[in-house]
Chain A
């Protein structure tokens, strides 16, 4: 039995090691603190506004910062929805990191648009808040991306003027009914057996 155990154990370890998808290898590192803040980003909801996931819409507008340098390298604009600091405290899985590949604060993609150099670099996008956006406070960040897909500049709406999203709960009435029915059934089954036992005992 011991030998079988050792063989089984080794097999498990090898299979696990071989079969598991490896965590992704890092690409070129980009640090937020090194990126120039070349874009000015604004969003339609004001501080404290509540948007409902799946229903409400927000409009994000971006334009090049007047004092920024050349925007020749900008090929597209990647806009992301980011958790505001208040929604990140005590939540390690949303931690902001200067290394953009390790950053977990900006998890939701809003849109990727080509950079309209001809229109003076201005752009706008109407975004219907997706159904899977959780309840939290957010701000919007836009990255200017070059042809290789690497971020070269960014801009963001003020994290201190964050707006809120009310996520869907996912609860349907049928769930509540089912929970009630099955709970009652369990207790009733117990009561049934107790009654049967008592009858047998009294006989």
Chain B
């Protein structure tokens, strides 16, 4: 079997360098089979913390403006159209950036890709403090929003560090705690503004100074990634490419295998209606509560924050649910879970648009809605790692980019100018969520099945992933990682699929048992 020589090659090289001892139990791919949330064990958990925090900072920067809009709109004389356009701009930059990030991760690794992106977009955050016109406002929001592509690198990084039984959870927590930034900032910015204002600054200066907080957070989190992070358990891409442990793939091949996989496209669409909706709400909710219910800046901030803050447990909860469903029902469970949770989210969104007559009801429904829509995001990324192995980065990028496209479209149709009242826009957005979640029924894996159809007899995961490599490439062993991945994904066949096989993957390293993981 080709997997063994490749794995042993890695180990051999490691032995020559001094074999790295991992504190965590790992599979044949050196990916962790456990997830210890409160640990910083290198490289797996350390990577997790760096990934989620740097992504969190990008979210904070991207959504730093909305809670300060009541001040910014007066300073710059913005109209509702200006604000809508900037909101759209803030999420459209990342559409293509996420695709590019996916490719970059496939080619140069998540560490360099994410740090470069984050450090290159930080100047836009600092410059947000010196804007003087509606067009400048639009530009800074556009360039700052590009940093949201760091989502892809975070997910890619987690998929490289964590094995199949834990990848949904790892992706869910990293994504959720990152998205948390969009909520935390709604609370953070009004408080920072208040503090600066109290120190003696005039309102029109205080909001400008406030932008330095997200800027500095972003700069230093990216530096930490560069200084302390590594791409894979075995090391960084550069060294792995050099030693021959890892095949350096070509952009053309990675692109072809991503674009021709219909599952990537469907997930891109559905992600647009969970994550895209989340981004839209991040942009719209503060002003909605401030203007509709006449609460003050800080109160609107608290309410808006509670939407994003639900991410602490909702998205990880989605990932956990996905992993749990997989342990009982395999991939089919993951698919059903995603469709159900996202559809309920859509229903709650419609309800939110309808209960605008009551402040208390609006808040309550919004909190419930946030849990479901964010859990759906977690469930989506429980499925993404399995769509492709060769083009994992680009598929993650397509899905992530699709999320942003959904945000652009939704904001453009429903929250732009004064055509629809905000509550009406929210109601229609809910209907769109329900409609655009239906395509999930079309996703089918030959080896694991789809929502309504079972797996094809005799189809294997190894076949599915090896299909991405040509005969010639397979002979050379380029697909070694895919084969290992297929082996470690046996559990996606559900209880019957993995019957006779151990529920957990084979640890290569006889590490001590977990002291307390999640």
A-to-B contact residues, CB < 8 Å: 1, 5, 8-9, 12-13, 16-17, 20-24, 87, 89-93, 131-132, 134-136, 167-172, 175-176, 178-180, 182-183, 185-187, 189-190, 193, 197, 201
Contact = CB atoms under 8 A, between A and B. Distances in A.
B75 A12 contact: no
B79 A16 contact: no
A104 B273 CA distance: 35
B209 interface: yes
Given A9-B371, A17-B364, A21-B299, A189 B204 contact: no
Contacts of B303: 16, 20
A201 B238 contact: yes
Contacts of B77: 87, 134-136
Given A12-B367, A193-B226, A175 B313 contact: no
Give 7 nearest A-B pairs by CB, closest first: A170-B204, A183-B123, A134-B74, A90-B79, A170-B205, A190-B119, A179-B126
Given A5-B313, A8-B313, A193-B226, A20 B302 contact: yes
B110 to A, nearest CB: 15
A17 B73 CA distance: 29
Interface in B290-314: 291, 293-296, 299, 302-303, 306, 313
Nearest to A185: B219
Contact of B204 (A20, A24, A167, A182): A167
B219 A182 contact: yes
A170 B223 contact: no
5 contacts: A16-B303, A93-B291, A169-B75, A182-B126, A185-B219
Nearest to A181: B126
A133 B303 CA distance: 28
B340 interface: no
B265 interface: no
A170 B211 CA distance: 13
Which of A5, A16, A180 counts the most B-chain CB atoms under 10 A from its CB? A16
Interface in B114-131: 115-116, 119-120, 122-123, 126-127, 129-130
Contact of A92 (B123, B226, B418): B418
B359 interface: yes
A135 B132 CA distance: 11
Contact of A17 (B132, B208, B287, B360): B360
Interface in B192-241: 202-209, 212, 215-216, 219, 222-223, 226-227, 238
B425 interface: no
Nearest to A189: B223
Given A182-B219, A190-B115, 17 more contacts: A5-B313, A8-B313, A12-B367, A16-B364, A17-B364, A24-B294, A90-B79, A132-B204, A170-B204, A170-B205, A175-B129, A180-B126, A182-B212, A182-B215, A186-B222, A187-B119, A193-B226
Nearest to B321: A2
Contacts of A169: 75, 132, 204
Contact of B127 (A8, A23, A179, A201): A179
A175 B130 CA distance: 7
Contacts of B70: 93
A179 B212 CA distance: 8
Contacts of B74: 134, 167
Contacts of B418: 90, 92
B205 A172 contact: yes
For chain A, what secondary structure do more than half of its interface residues adopt (helix, strand, loop), or is it mixed?
Answer: helix
Contact of A91 (B79, B219, B295, B364): B79
A24 B303 CA distance: 17
A134 B203 CA distance: 11
A87 B207 CA distance: 22
Contacts of B363: 13, 16-17, 20
Contact of B122 (A23, A180, A183): A183
Contacts of A17: 360, 363-364
Contacts of A187: 119-120, 123
A182 B222 CA distance: 14
Contacts of B254: none
Given A16-B367, A20-B295, A179-B129, A186 B79 contact: no
B219 A189 contact: yes
B312 to A, nearest CB: 9
A193 to B, nearest CB: 4
A197 B77 CA distance: 46
Contacts of A89: 79
Interface string B78-107: 111100000000000000000000000000
Contact of A190 (B120, B127, B204, B294): B120
Contacts of A135: 75, 77
Contacts of A134: 74-75, 77
A179 B317 contact: no
B417 interface: yes
Contacts of A185: 219
B320 interface: yes
B204 A186 contact: no
A186 B313 contact: no
Given A5-B317, A20-B303, A168-B204, A186 B130 contact: no
A9 B74 CA distance: 36
A186 B203 contact: no
Contacts of B132: 169, 171
Contact of A182 (B208, B216, B242, B306): B216
A80 B12 CA distance: 81
Which of B70, B116, B123, B203 counts the most A-chain CB atoms under 10 A from its CB? B123
Contacts of B222: 186, 189-190
A19 to B, nearest CB: 8
A98 B287 CA distance: 22
A168 B242 CA distance: 58
Contact of B293 (A16, A23, A91, A186): A23
Interface string B415-446: 00110000000000000000000000000000
A134 B207 CA distance: 14
